[in-house]
Amino acid sequence: MVPADRWSFWPAACSWPPKKYTDIPVPALVIFANPHSLGTWVERNIDASGRAALAASVMRQEKAIKDAVPSAHLVELPNANHLVFLSDEADGLREMGRFVAGLN
């Protein structure tokens, strides 16, 4: 198991969104895997506190997007992995279709 303190850099390294993207003047679709499936390697090699730190990071990223870009259409795909287009292809395509259909 990888000890939790090994992941202490994670929150600082993943502060989202960068300030230059706080004003998005066009429709934006943001898809979050939340709760995030961390995958087999993480489940087997990262201890519970490390997994909790990674999950908390995803929550902070999602909240940062909601706060910074309130006009964004945010979709949560529960238990998808980081590569949403692979783990939840049908859901991703459905949400993209809905988003595009709603554009004027």
pLDDT at position 102 is 93
Q: pLDDT category, 32, cuts 50, 70, 90? A: confident
- Model confidence over 44-99: pLDDT tens digits? 888 888 878 888 888 888 888 888 888 889 999 888 887 888 889 999 999 999 99
DSSP assignment of the chain: -B-GGGGTTHHHHT-SS-GGGS---S--EEEE-SSPP-HHHHHHHB-HHHHHHHHHHHHHHHHHHHHH-TTSEEEE-TT--S-HHHHTHHHHHHHHHHHHHT--
